[in-house]
Amino acid sequence: MTLIPPVRKGDLKHVPNHFHTSDQVSNESSLPGDSVSEALETTGYKTVKVSVTSAQIKNLFSNPVDLLPAPGVNKAYSIIQVIYKVNNATIPYATNTTLRIIYEGILTGSLASSAFILTKTGNSINQVPQFTAASGATDQQIATNKKVQLYVTTGNPTAGDGTMDIWLVYRVIDLS
């Protein structure tokens, strides 16, 4: 396998879901500074931050939120780390609160999963386990040319009022 060159600054811009480059993440967050982002870039790893509104959270089952656009033919994402941050939640979300990060259209298994982040109030930052395979399997399927999305599996969450920021550390792998 050959890694493709890193995405250049400014390449990840997607207005509807607020894609940001690694530069913007380090400038807009309390996560590590530019030196860490720059070190990641030299290894082919990238960081993206996506901001999610309360309305989007309450509609995640019906309309998953795009976290990364499709990477291109014969390319796939390898998700290294996921950090969720809930902002200013005064009412926790109820029912259907297990967040999953999936490849578009592949609903078995997940790249990362958190059953608890939406049930918190206040401001909370969590790093979540990743690579949750379906039905006790030990491997996670890699999908080529698929978006990476935020999703809940059984129905839209109810109640709740906080927003969320999600940071993904990932790399793009050329599978040709």
Contacts of 87 (CB under 8 A, 6+ apart): 123, 162, 163, 164, 165
Which residue ranges form the domains of the chain, and what is each CATH number?
2-174 (2.60.120)
- Using a 10 angstrom Cβ sphere, with 0-12 exposed, 13-18 middle and 19 or more buried, the burial of residue 70 is middle
Distances (CA, A) of 103 to 30, 122, 145: 28, 30, 9
Residue 27's pLDDT band, with cuts at 50, 70 and 90, is very low
Average pLDDT of the residues in 38-52: 82
Q: Closest Cα partner for 78 from 24, 9, 143, 23?
A: 143
The per-residue pLDDT for 73 is 96
Residue 5's pLDDT band, with cuts at 50, 70 and 90, is very low
Strand partners, 167: 49, 83
What is the Rg, in whole angstroms, of the alpha carbon atoms belonging to the chain? Answer: 16
d(CA 151, CA 113): 10
Three-state DSSP state, 145 = coil
Residue with the bigger pLDDT between 54 and 102: it is 54
Q: Closest Cα partner for 23 from 9, 13, 12?
A: 9
Contacts of 55 (CB under 8 A, 6+ apart): none
pTM, 2 dp: 0.72
